[in-house]
Amino acid sequence: MAFVSTFVAGTAELSPTARSVAPAQNDFFIVYRLVLFGGGLAVGTIFGFLALIALGRQPMIDLVVVGAMLVMIALNLASQTLRESLAAEARICTIATWVNCGALLCWPLVMVPLLDRVLWVAPALALLSLLVLTSIWRGSPRAIYRVGLQSALVAALGAYMGGLTLMS
């Protein structure tokens, strides 16, 4: 699309000179959304296991700091998706995003050594809520990319923690 710009008092005014030939596609097919979700899971799991092999067992303060930063990034992505689903008034997407945020927030609580039997509850709940969100999302494609990145983060943390649990 070509634009003609004129500068008036230091500001640019853009006016379109040609119409778009085809409308932009704003919707992914369900298969594409699931592929992005599964790809994020695969990349995150591989990265988590490679980090476990490369780093081994780290002191607890290092795990808490790095884990907190990754969970904050995942919560930031979830908050952007939540804002977008609230604006679109998509009730089920909003509920799935709230469940995802709750699972991410309670993840550090299940890392307490007394609760090692329920260690898989928070990551599994986070991934299941992301799967629901991937399946029913009808908004912008940016949210699907955020879900893919968030699934990679959750899978990497889960793979690293799961490997540490299996090693002990």
pLDDT (tens, 9 = 90+) of the chain, 168 residues, equals 555 555 555 555 555 555 555 545 566 788 999 999 999 999 999 999 999 999 888 888 888 888 889 999 999 999 999 999 999 899 999 999 999 999 999 888 777 667 777 888 888 999 999 999 999 988 888 999 999 999 999 999 999 988 988 887
Q: Are 165 and 116 in contact (CB under 8 A)?
A: yes
Q: Does the global pTM surpass 0.85?
A: no
Q: How far is CA 37 from the centre of its chain?
A: 9
Q: What pLDDT sits at residue 152?
A: 96
The token duo for 129 is 């809520």
Q: Are 107 and 123 in contact (CB under 8 A)?
A: yes
